[in-house]
A and B are shown apart, each in its own frame.
Chain A
Amino acid sequence: MEIKEKENAPTNIVGKPLNRVDGPAKVTGAARYSAEVPLAGTVYGVLKTSAIAKGRIKSIDTSRAEKEPGVLHIFTYQNLPKPAKTPQQVEKWRAAQSYLPMQDDRVQYAGEPVVLVVADTLERATQAAELVQVSYQAELPIDSYLDPKAELFDPQTIQSGKQPGHTERGNPQAAYAGAPVKLDATYVHAINHHNPMEPAATLAVWEGNDRLTVYETTQNITGSQTALLDVLGLPRDQVRVVTHYLGGGFGCKGSVWPHTLITALAARAVGRPLKVVLTRKQMFTGVGHREDQEQNLKLGATTDGKLLALVHTKKATTSPWDNYTESNSKVINMLYACPSFGATYELARANVMTSVWMRAPGEAPGSFALESSMDDLAHQLNIDPLEIRLRNYADHDYSNDKPWSSKSLKQCYARGAELFGWDKRNPTPGQTRRGRLLVGHGMGTATYPVHSAQGTARVRLFADGHAVVQSGATDLGTGTYTVMTQVSADALGLPPDKIRFELGDTRLPTAPGSGGSQAAGTVASAIMEAAQDVWAKVVKMAVADKKSPLYKAKPADVKVELGRMFLAKKPAKGETLVAALARSGQTDIEGSASGKYGAGYEKQYFEAADSDDKKGGNPNQEKPGEKQGQGHSMHSFGAHFCEVEVDPELGTIRVTRWVGVHGVGTVLNLKTATSQLMGGAIFGIGSALMEETFRDPTYARYTNSDLASYHVPVNADIPDMTIEFVPETDPYINALGVKGIGEIGIVGVAAAVANAVFNATGRRMRSLPMTPDKMLEALRLPA
């Protein structure tokens, strides 16, 4: 049996704009999210959180709360069952935050859980939590890296040791010092909160004392399972985590947070299903945030705009325990052909919870600094912003000297410019008016890496012509249910309504979490491989079956396409998988496999290809990583084009037109992919123009922790948008050539908006969000 990836790449339903298969459940209200699973006897837990950011708990008086009707339990640090291990003691998994509250009388950040009240109704638990009196011995907290009490330090590594704290390539300092053109600018990014519409929720149910099911709001069921079993001291098969529907995440549901662990510990003592849902206010201090940060970028270039050096430093706030900060420098290192690069990080500990990845962590703010500076360079040298990017176009990845697995950025620039009408842009700032409004046009580049991941899937094909396909992935709303149904349909040659794709349960084959834009590429590959396992089994049955047209054929001579087996040399001779299976008398047949995404796939696939020349399938006629023998650099690329209107009297900025064009490999579903990239751009517009959480400098508490004062874009803020894809084939990343699209949509967005504002006003806005007060202040000063 010959399986060639490219030849067998499904071509029928994959890529089509199929309506979401989970759509009917979502538009009728039938889709049950984690807090909505109906379990008899469920009781309600309400967290009371700390009123101070630093200090000790002097006393907790629960006497009034205990007298309230319906109150079942009141947990404090004094009586919460102890974990088998705390997050600090666990090496297998890394919580975003290594500190678990409610273990002693310490308070280390405002809003950390202090009391958990359990009652028979939500109202009674809420009321009783109000009545618990907590008195504190408060100390003066540190609010951020800007606090005079804060001490900046060199973290050596960032992101829990996953990324280096220093990077140097070429000779950045000397190259910058000697550059004929120098730019030196500092960019500021406010605290952002993910604020998915669905609040974080944990519904924990114990069977006896040693078997737990948790209905959880998580982007990563296996990650949550691992955390829970470590903290509870249970074997993996006794902790089940379920997330059938997830109401958005954007990164904040990718980790395990204190409320989940506390709920699981408490539920064992309560002995009934325990449901804890964070309030919106608690969502600001319960599930991380994008940290407050500033970046200095020094850019050295030739007089014709060619980059000579980029020197990046970042200062940011982190928690008292962890060295988390977004890795902004990665994107600055790899995007352009720049021979010298240097990056360092400085962090300061403050009394805040650990920040966490938020949509394109690092790439989003990093691209704001880089793409703003590139626009600045273009303006200083009187070169078109698009042209300056082409002059610095990287034909390979300068950060690691590897060739690209695929890159369609030039096509994205060209198509985006055409759709937007970039050639009509007035290059002189402040010259274009629409009535009394100033109009500007700007652009920014998007890119996001392909991370290496591995996942498994099971495909069960039934003789009556339907299939159940399973993988323990999650669907944050990104379309996993839908695109995996499409991939399965093509792999088995069945219509999509004959496929049931199941996800979101640790009882299913293990898959990576939805984060880092890796789920689609990994799970789709796993399904494809599992389907091929089914093919092989059915082909084997057919060639041994006298009634099959393929009787006595050699399995190696049989091809499978869209669910039909046939002789490669005589395609008319063959039958469908289902026909052969039905005749066999078996009700169903099962296949399973592991799929790889990114570097792991490339290594595995091309090693296999090397050992068998016929299986190569490398269209570039080039061995992987021929240059260095280390494989390819793998990234998605795209370009954003933005028009803004600025009110010179009010300082308001409105985005009035948007074009985004992306090259992301195989698009699995045009409709959902378009929505995802559009949503990414709007998320970025929010971050550019309005999103900002304020932390009080004295008390280190958030002052706007609700959706009325933390502004996210609403319908009236957003114009119609144009999103397109350029065709792109990438044989190196996975079996289907799929690159992730969860994050790339936001990368470069803030810069595109800021660059359009510069074109409109002649003012370079370097502090996000670009709120009217900042715009007015800039307009008051000379350009």
Chain B
Amino acid sequence: MPASNAPAPLNPDGSRRTFMKQAGGILGLALAPPFISQAERLTALSKKLEGVSTINLNVNGTLRSIRAEPRVTLLDALREYLDLTGSKKGCDHGQCGACTVLVDGRRVNSCLTLAVMSQGKEITTIEGLAKGDELHPMQAAFLKHDGFQCGYCTPGQIMSAVACVNEGHAGSEAEVREWMSGNICRCSAYPNITAAILDAKGQMGKG
């Protein structure tokens, strides 16, 4: 299916939370007393996506299509439908940051984002960060400073770290610690992660 046929995103930030609000609105309408006409009610309900449909996702510069239900999260779309397993599921509740990807340059928890609402946006995952064999400066810095042990939180840490620098939130050790605290590392490589980000920040400026 061509990209132009993709449904427009339902809202600009594409989060599950705002979707729920909208869905609640639709449901509210459906349950509303009968002074709303049958036609209006059906119109409202028809906006609800149901069943399997084609979802087009622009991931790491490539347009990918999947057949999936609208309740599929961006994280599950990446991991289970596109076999891009670099983004990790640590909690599925937006509490650990392991699923962090960039959507239009912003870091988002892909477990709290629906795939269907991510259409028409530029999604960057850990697999799209390196240029061929050349690691992104942040990846190289994590390697050099040993910013991980088990590596399960690492893709999320690195995506978050790239955004942290681009946001201008890597001005000092203290600032990095604060702005990287949405990404849990249970192996606790935090001091090394902080060192890696401050190191990579200089390299990213050059690059």
Contacts and interface: CB of A to CB of B under 8 A. Distances in A.
Interface of A: 19-20, 22-33, 36, 38, 121-124, 195-199, 245-248, 250, 277, 279-280, 476-479, 671-672, 674-676, 678-679, 682-683, 686, 706-708, 712-721
Given A247-B151, A712-B186, 19 more contacts: A19-B143, A20-B146, A27-B126, A27-B135, A27-B142, A29-B86, A29-B127, A38-B83, A197-B187, A248-B149, A280-B93, A682-B190, A707-B93, A708-B95, A713-B188, A715-B180, A716-B178, A718-B190, A720-B173
Given A20-B146, A196-B186, A712-B186, A27 B177 contact: no
A451 B130 CA distance: 42
Interface residues of B, number: 61
Contacts of B183: 714-715
Contact of A33 (B96, B152, B181): B152
B55 interface: no
Nearest to A720: B191
Q: What 7 pairs across the A-B complex have the smallest Cβ distances?
A: A29-B86, A477-B150, A247-B152, A26-B151, A682-B188, A477-B149, A29-B126
Interface of B: 68-69, 71-72, 76, 79-80, 83-93, 95-96, 98, 125-127, 129-130, 135, 139-140, 142-144, 146, 148-155, 158, 173, 176-178, 180-194
Contacts of B144: 19
A19 B83 CA distance: 27
Contacts of A716: 177-178, 180-181
Contacts of B151: 22-23, 25-27, 31, 245, 247, 477
Given A19-B144, A26-B151, A247-B151, A715 B76 contact: no
Contacts of B125: 29
A477 B135 contact: no
A36 B143 contact: no
Q: Which of B148, B149, B177 has the most CB of A within 10 A?
A: B149
5 contacts: A25-B151, A31-B151, A198-B88, A477-B148, A683-B188
Q: Which of A122, A675, A676, A720 has the most CB of B within 10 A?
A: A675
Given A19-B144, A197-B90, A716-B178, A707 B190 contact: no
A283 to B, nearest CB: 9
B177 A24 contact: no
A482 to B, nearest CB: 10
A28 B135 contact: yes
Given A199-B89, A675-B149, A26 B95 contact: no
Nearest to B149: A477
A49 to B, nearest CB: 16
A753 to B, nearest CB: 15
Contact of B184 (A19, A23, A672, A714): A714
Q: Which of B80, B125, B155, B182 has the most CB of A within 10 A?
A: B80
Nearest to B81: A121
B126 A247 contact: no
A199 to B, nearest CB: 7
B190 A248 contact: no
Contacts of A121: 68-69, 72, 80
A19 B152 CA distance: 17
A198 B150 contact: yes
Given A29-B127, A715-B193, A676 B149 contact: yes
Nearest to B129: A28
Nearest to A27: B139
Contacts of B181: 714-717
B184 A712 contact: yes
Chain A, interface SS category: loop
Contacts of A672: 146, 149
Nearest to B182: A714
Contacts of A715: 176-178, 180-181, 183, 185, 190, 193-194
Nearest to B91: A280
Contacts of B153: 197
B98 A28 contact: no
Nearest to B142: A27
A439 B98 CA distance: 35
A766 B153 CA distance: 33
Nearest to A23: B143
A477 B187 contact: yes
A682 B91 CA distance: 21
A413 B135 CA distance: 41
Contacts of B129: 28
B103 to A, nearest CB: 17
A679 B186 CA distance: 8
A706 B93 contact: yes
Contact of B90 (A22, A31, A198, A674): A198
A603 B139 CA distance: 46
Contacts of A675: 146, 149, 187, 189, 192
Nearest to B71: A123
Contacts of B95: 280, 706-708
Contacts of A124: 69
A753 B151 CA distance: 28
B149 A19 contact: no
B85 A32 contact: yes
A38 B95 CA distance: 27
A223 B131 CA distance: 41
A532 B130 CA distance: 40
Nearest to A17: B146
A193 to B, nearest CB: 11
A678 B184 contact: no
A198 B184 CA distance: 11
Contacts of A277: 89
Contacts of B189: 675, 678-679
A63 B91 CA distance: 30
Contact of A29 (B76, B84, B96, B188): B84
A647 B143 CA distance: 37
Contacts of B187: 197, 248, 477, 675, 679
A314 B122 CA distance: 57
A605 B46 CA distance: 78
Given A121-B69, A196-B186, A197-B185, A28 B139 contact: yes
A25 B151 CA distance: 9
Nearest to B192: A675
Contacts of B79: 36
Given A19-B143, A30-B86, A675-B146, A197 B184 contact: yes
A694 B180 CA distance: 27
Contacts of B80: 121-122
Nearest to B138: A27
Nearest to B84: A29
Contacts of A671: 146
Contacts of A678: 188-189, 191-192
Contacts of A477: 148-152, 187
B177 to A, nearest CB: 4
B92 to A, nearest CB: 6
B175 to A, nearest CB: 10
B91 A706 contact: yes
B74 to A, nearest CB: 13
Contacts of B155: 27, 29
A222 B125 CA distance: 35
A138 to B, nearest CB: 28
A104 to B, nearest CB: 31
A682 B193 CA distance: 14
A701 to B, nearest CB: 18
A38 B81 CA distance: 11
Contacts of B177: 715-716, 718
A608 to B, nearest CB: 37
Q: Which of B125, B127, B177 has the most CB of A within 10 A?
A: B177
B154 A27 contact: yes
A100 to B, nearest CB: 26
Nearest to B187: A679
Contacts of B68: 121
Contacts of A38: 83
A740 to B, nearest CB: 15
A479 B150 CA distance: 8
